[in-house]
Chains A and B, each alone.
Chain A
């Protein structure tokens, strides 16, 4: 490729996506480079989807400032992009007078940070807000501006908007080395592809340290802090009105009880520092511990309602703050590293902040006349009443062909996801929710596989769960093994 991009963003998680979309409003050529087969397949995939209110971090931190600013931007983003978001509120429940002291501290911190409408609740007020809470509570904090979002839909929508406004998305582009030739960086992927760009933004999440090293920029180490969460089915008994936090520990916010925008619920996450960035294994020890803590807050939560568990890692830097700034050692290189919680909440504000850094670095920013902040709405059968569904089907009858029974996802929605570039089983799952419900793909995955094959022409045996070597089927029957006769009956 001979074109030189003005800006290359490395990493298409929440941060890279928000940045790409923000920059797409200007007359810039932008490349968004993602190592995985689809966007939002890294750190952001396992995000809890909480839009934090902004009382957890001290006013002195960059985190707190960006968190508050980000929080306030979500209505506008939802209006433009249509992803699922609800300002359901957050409560922090205390179970002792000791804990109430921490609640008071959080209140003061939140007020200092500028969190609107924050209140300290007595027991009665808290139980009125959250009747499922353990009545042993002594009170807590209520932040009505906290919210929940579907993290992948948020990221997908940002990227879709960015691409519609001219950003070049390159998936399966795992950056291995880069060279600056005085004019621009030449960025090389593991597969040998090259992209040239004058400025580079490192939003590589867990791999930001390796990317920084590849560009000869600052040396630092990202420590993965693994978190495991449990997803419970729709209409679960413990589904709360608000996101429920315990009184936080020193490093983490504790085990939460989280309503999702889509009506399922989550409990978790754990927080364990690991060495392996690829380690997203779940363990058997966590289940009892997580549920004991969650059920202490909301006693009606039931393990019977678990649909699945999953783990992800937060990219943590020493000191726990975000590291956002222009590199002092590599030219025209901006670091956006250590973006752990509340990174999702802060992401639109981080995008704003980094845009200003680009300007500071000498990048001219002219608003693009043709910029369209809006995404055309996409229809979801499960959100429709019969009359609306009927109207939808007169446009495309495939909205009446339900492929995923648990989440009521139609063939038309799956085709839409594929046409938007989501061609792995997980990509379609995160875009449409097909396979995300109680049967976990038992009934729909063969249908989705067939639709992917039909729409893309990819042979069925080459369709993957999430790209790379994650092939789903290993050939036609009979299987050639080279040992087939040994396999037959004795």
Chain B
């Protein structure tokens, strides 16, 4: 089956036609460079996205704190990750880069804070 995919490898946005072949191979046409072929293959077989979100904290002073995945996560896992994030509460203080979730579902993807939030008064 053919899938039309817009390449995001560069701002050109080539329209790729990707066809999966038996044995896991993918035929890509419409690309103007090799990166396009790679992009099409991955987007067809295992599309991934970086997820950014906010997590509830235990402090009314900074009630929500922003987080991101350290690497793109497989698309089908994103709803699960979001549900986990909405259930969770982050304990402050937290520093930018601190890990909040480690190795989510054994994907090797972590969730880290993208900002620093302390409990102290501003000085």
Contact = CB atoms under 8 A, between A and B. Distances in A.
Interface in A433-486: 477-478, 485
A334 B100 CA distance: 69
Interface stretch (B6-14, B75-83, B91-99): B75-83
Q: Mostly helix, strand, loop or mixed at chain A's interface?
A: loop
Interface in B66-87: 75-76, 78-79, 82, 86
A485 B79 contact: yes
A489 B86 contact: no
B78 A488 contact: yes
A477 B78 CA distance: 17
A442 B101 CA distance: 34
B46 to A, nearest CB: 14
B79 A488 contact: yes
B115 to A, nearest CB: 17
Nearest to A478: B86
Contacts of B86: 477-478
Contacts of A489: 49, 75-76, 78-79
Contacts of B79: 485, 488-489
Nearest to A485: B79
Contacts of B76: 489
Nearest to B85: A478
A372 to B, nearest CB: 42
Nearest to B80: A488
Nearest to B54: A477
Contacts of B75: 489
B120 to A, nearest CB: 21
Contacts of B78: 488-489
B48 to A, nearest CB: 11
Nearest to B75: A489
Interface string B37-69: 000000000000100001000000000000000
A317 to B, nearest CB: 54
A485 B49 CA distance: 18
A478 B81 CA distance: 13
Interface of A: 477-478, 485, 488-489
By Cβ-Cβ distance, the 9 closest A-B pairs, closest first, are A488-B79, A478-B86, A489-B75, A489-B78, A485-B79, A489-B79, A488-B78, A477-B86, A488-B82
Given A477-B86, A489-B76, 10 more contacts: A477-B54, A478-B82, A478-B86, A488-B78, A488-B79, A488-B82, A489-B49, A489-B75, A489-B78, A489-B79
13 contacts: A477-B54, A477-B86, A478-B82, A478-B86, A485-B79, A488-B78, A488-B79, A488-B82, A489-B49, A489-B75, A489-B76, A489-B78, A489-B79
